[in-house]
């Protein structure tokens, strides 16, 4: 399954009975995080409570998106699973501030 917006897409890479692997591509902001959260919630509701987010193709991840993902991670954890974001090395992220607020940017 793929969900696309103009600046973002999320792809379901693989599923098992209890795990789902999703790939994030592009800018993850409040709007695109809503798409990801709905998708994660549908997987968690179906029993796939271990969620793996591959963010190696994410170019920007803003604070609002991280807050939204943390909320959905708590839901997965409450059902015996959790949410892990992988593919983004902490040392490769840097914080910027603009009129839109602070963002975490994955440099290319």
pLDDT digits (tens, 9 = 90+) for 33-86: 999 999 999 999 999 999 999 998 888 888 888 889 999 999 999 999 999 988
| pTM, rounded to two decimals | 0.78
Domain 2-105 architecture: 2-Layer Sandwich (3.30)
- With residue 62 as reference, give the H or E element that holds it: strand 50-62
Distances (CA, A) of 73 to 27, 42, 43, 85, 108: 20, 13, 12, 10, 27
Q: What is the pLDDT of residue 98?
A: 53
Q: What is the pLDDT of residues 2-20, one digit of tens each?
A: 554 468 999 999 999 999 9
């Amino acid at each position: 399954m793929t969900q696309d917006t103009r600046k973002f897409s999320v792809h379901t890479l693989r599923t098992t009975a209890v795990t789902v692997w999703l790939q994030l591509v592009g800018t993850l902001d409040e709007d695109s995080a809503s798409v990801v959260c709905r998708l994660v919630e549908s997987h968690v509701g179906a029993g796939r409570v271990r969620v793996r987010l591959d963010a190696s193709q994410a170019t920007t991840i803003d604070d609002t998106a991280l807050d939204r993902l943390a909320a959905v991670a708590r839901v997965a954890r409450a059902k015996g699973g959790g949410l892990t974001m992988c593919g983004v090395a902490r040392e490769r992220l840097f914080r910027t501030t603009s009129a839109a607020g602070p963002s975490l940017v994955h440099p290319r």
